Amino acid sequence: MAEKTVDLRSDTVTLPGREMREAMAQAIVGDDVFGGDPTVKQLEEEAAALTGKEAALFVPSGTMGNLIAVLTHTTRGDAVLLDPEAHIFYYEAGGSSLVGGVQLWPVENLHSPEGIRSFNKAIRPSDQHFAPATLLCLENTHNRKGGTVLKPGEQELLYQAAKSSGLSVHLDGARIFNAAAAENCAVTDFTRSCDSIMFCLSKGLGAPVGSILAGSSPFINSARRYRKILGGGMRQSGILAAAGREALKHIPHLPDDHRRALKLAEGISQLPNFEVTPFPPPTNIIILNTEALALSSPELVNRLLPFGIEAIPFGENLVRMVTHRDISDDEIDYTLDVFTKISKGLS
What is the sign of the dihedral through the CA atoms of 327, 329, 334 and 340?
Answer: positive
Closest CA to 243 of 199, 201, 203: 201
**Could you tell me the pLDDT band of residue 1, with boundaries at 50, 70 and 90?**
low
What is the rounded average pLDDT of the residues 22-49? Answer: 97
pLDDT tens-digit profile of 4-17? Answer: 899 999 999 999 99
| Parts of the chain belonging to CATH 3.90.1150.10 | 253-346
Closest CA to 239 of 35, 13, 43: 43
> Regarding the domain with residue range 253-346, which homologous superfamily does it belong to in the CATH classification?
Aspartate Aminotransferase, domain 1 (3.90.1150.10)
Q: Dihedral (C-alpha) 196, 287, 254, 197: value to the nearest 10 degrees?
A: 0
Are 254 and 265 in contact by the 8 Å Cβ rule? The answer is no
What is the rounded average pLDDT of the residues 145-154? Answer: 96
Closest CA to 117 of 145, 157, 78: 157
pTM (2 decimals)? 0.96
- CB neighbourhood size of 152 (10 A): 21
Burial of 289 (0-12, 13-18, 19+ CB in 10 A): middle
| Parts of the chain belonging to CATH 3.40.640.10 | 18-249
Element (H, E) at 285: strand 285-289
Closest CA to 11 of 151, 150, 174: 174
pLDDT tens-digit profile of 241-257? Answer: 999 999 999 999 999 99
**Separation in Å, CA 88 to CA 69, 83, 118:** 11, 9, 19
DSSP of 178-204, one letter per residue? Answer: HHHHHHTS-THHHHTT-SEEEEESSST
Say yes or no: domain 18-249 is CATH 3.40.640.10. yes
